[in-house]
Amino acid sequence: AAGTAFALFAGLAVMDHTRLLPSRPLEGFPHFPPTFIFGLLVAFAATVFISAHFITTIMADLRRTTADLVREKATLDGIIQGIGAGLIVLDGSSRVTWANDQAGRWFPDLRPGEACHRVLAGREAPCEGCNALEAARQGRPCSLEHVHGGRRFLVTQSGVRDGAGALAHRLLLVQ
């Protein structure tokens, strides 16, 4: 489309210059010489070409970066699924945001948005004075023993802080 518009305007400029199709300025508008209009068209075409080149380059970089990220994610997923332990991520309000397959097998009620105390301790109410939450707030890891479904689990957790230093998530390693 840009090439067609460029050819049309260039053709009009040439026809005006050769007097095949002379132009007259509209009343109240200045008359620009054809060379000026042709220069504008060349500048516009160059801008379109350079912009297209940069957009194409940026898109190729994004595709490569996305492919790299997908490969890295697959590698990390393989490692996380293969460690033989459960991994659970809780948000700042102690609700599940993510868990690996092993944690899902051990805790069938494990679903995103589910409260930690329901999943790990089988309790309806939050654990009174939760040691794990308090340890995470203080920036130290904590290990607790939980019994769920007749099995004993060692749950080691640590806090993950955001850029401002506030507790954003808790990472639980369940063995």
The band of 59, judged by pLDDT with boundaries at 50, 70 and 90, is very high
Q: What are phi and psi of 87, to 5 degrees?
A: -125, 130
Q: Calculate mean pLDDT across residues 27-56.
A: 82
174: CB partners within 8 A, 6+ apart: 85, 86, 87, 88, 102, 103, 106, 120, 153, 154, 155
- Measure the CA–CA gap between 86 and 99, rounded to whole angstroms: 7
Per-residue pLDDT tens over the stretch 103-125: 988 888 889 999 888 888 777 88
Per-residue pLDDT tens over the stretch 18-41: 666 656 666 666 667 767 777 888
Instruction: Characterise 75 by phi-psi region: left (phi > 0), alpha (psi -120 to 50), beta (else).
Output: alpha
User: Which of the residue ranges 26-30, 124-128, 169-173 has the most confident prediction, judged by mean pLDDT?
Assistant: 169-173
Q: How many CA atoms lie within 13 A of 124 on its CB side?
A: 0
| Residue 69, pLDDT score | 96
pLDDT higher at 93 or 17: 93
> Is 70 exceeded by the pLDDT of residue 15?
no
Mean of the per-residue pLDDT values for the chain?
A: 83
Q: Calculate mean pLDDT across residues 55-60.
A: 96
Per-residue pLDDT tens over the stretch 60-80: 999 999 999 999 999 988 888
Transcribe 19-35 into DSSP letters. Answer: TSS---PPTTSPPPPHH
> Is 80 exceeded by the pLDDT of residue 42?
yes
| Residue 94, pLDDT score | 86
Structure tokens at 51: 């912009």
pTM score, whole prediction = 0.61
